[in-house]
Amino acid sequence: MEFGAVLQTHPPASRTLALAKLAEQHGFDYAWTFDSHLLWQEPYVIYSQILNETHRIKVGPMVTNPATRDWTVTASIFATLNEMYGNRTICGIGRGDSAVRTTNGAPTTLKTLRESIHVIRELANSRPVEYNGATVQFPWSRSSELEVWVAAYGPLALKLTGEVGDGFILQLADVDIAEWMIKTVRDAAEKAGRDPMSIKFCVAAPMYIGDDWEHMRDQCRWFGGMVGNHVADIVSKYGTDSNVPKALTDYIESRQGYDYNQHGLAGNEHANFVPDEIVDRFCLLGTADQHIEKLKALKELGVDQFAGYLQHDNKEETLRVYGEAVIPAMREHITATA
C-alpha cells in the first residue's frame, strides 16, 4: 500500500512546502492538495517548489475539476512539471465542488468530466488529441506521463470511473461503503472491456493519531460535512431509495446549508450535524494499532493507496507516527501476504 498526505494550500506557502517535505521524510509517496483558487493559494505554483525541494514524492490535486481552468492549460501544467522534475505528478479530478460553488457555479456534467479526462490525459502523456474541432499536441513535450484518477460517489460517476479512470479516489474510509464502491467501479470497468484490476484505488480521509476521542472527532468532523455536500447531490438526483448505501445517505437528513468559507477547516460550524459514528467510520482515528487495523481491512478490499487529510492540530505528530509505525507495519503486512 502506498501513502499520501493531503494538504491545504493555506498561507504561508512555506508551511505547505514544509509539510510536504516532512511527509517525504516519513515515507509518504504522494503530496496531494486541495484545488480551490478562491479559498486557498494556487497549488500548481507550490507544486513546483515541492518538487524542487524533494526527491521522489509525487504531487497532484485532490481534486481539480474541468470548469475552472481550460483543459489544455491543466495538461500543460502537468507536462511542464514532468519535464522539469521527471514524471512525478498525478491528476485527481471530479465534477467540481468548492472551486466552482464559490464562484456561483455548479459541478460539471459527467459528459464534460469524461471529455476533460480524455483531453488532459492525452496531452499530458505527450499525445495528440481532438479539442474544439482541432487536433492539438504539445510540440515541446516528449516523454511526459500522467495518470488521471477520478473522485466519485454516485452510481453514474462510479460507472464513468470504471470506464475511463486510471484510478478511483474515494473520499471516505468506511470499509462497507468502500467495498460497495470498489465493486461498482470494477464491474463498470469489466463491462467496458477493461481489466478491472488495472484501476488503482485510493481511499482519502482524515488521519489523526491520538487517544482523546472527543477531541479527535471534533477536529475531523468537518470531513463529514464536506462529504455531505456530495451526498446531498446524490440524494437530490436519486432520492433516498437508490442503491447507494444507506450509511452514506442517511446521516445528512439534518444537514442545513454549508459555508464554503469554513470548507476543510477543523471546527467547521456547518458540520455539527455529523454524528460521532460517521466521523469514526469515515476517518482514521486513534492509536497506530487502530489505524493499522483499519488500513489492513481496506487493503483486503483492494485499496492501493491511503491518502490522509491533515486539516487538524496534530499534523507533525501524525506524520511522525505514520513514518515510524504505520507505514512500516503496512509494508511488512503486504510482504507477508504477497
- Do the domain assignments include residue 216? no
> What is the bridge-based pairing of β-strands 30-33 and 129-131?
unpaired
**Which tens digit of pLDDT belongs to each residue from 224-238?**
888 876 777 777 677
Q: Considering its fold, how many domains does the chain have in total?
A: 1
- pTM > 0.95: yes or no: no
**Which tens digit of pLDDT belongs to each residue from 1-53?**
999 999 999 999 999 999 999 999 999 999 999 999 999 999 999 999 999 99
Assign residue 30 the CATH number of its domain: 3.20.20.30
- Do the domain assignments include residue 179? yes
- Do the domain assignments include residue 257? no
**Which tens digit of pLDDT belongs to each residue from 177-197?**
999 999 999 999 999 999 999
For residue 155, the enclosing domain spans 2-211+287-330
- Do the domain assignments include residue 237? no
- Do the domain assignments include residue 221? no
- Do the domain assignments include residue 55? yes
- Do the domain assignments include residue 248? no
CB 255 within 8 A of CB 228: yes
**Which tens digit of pLDDT belongs to each residue from 280-308?**
999 999 999 999 999 999 999 999 999 99
- Do the domain assignments include residue 255? no
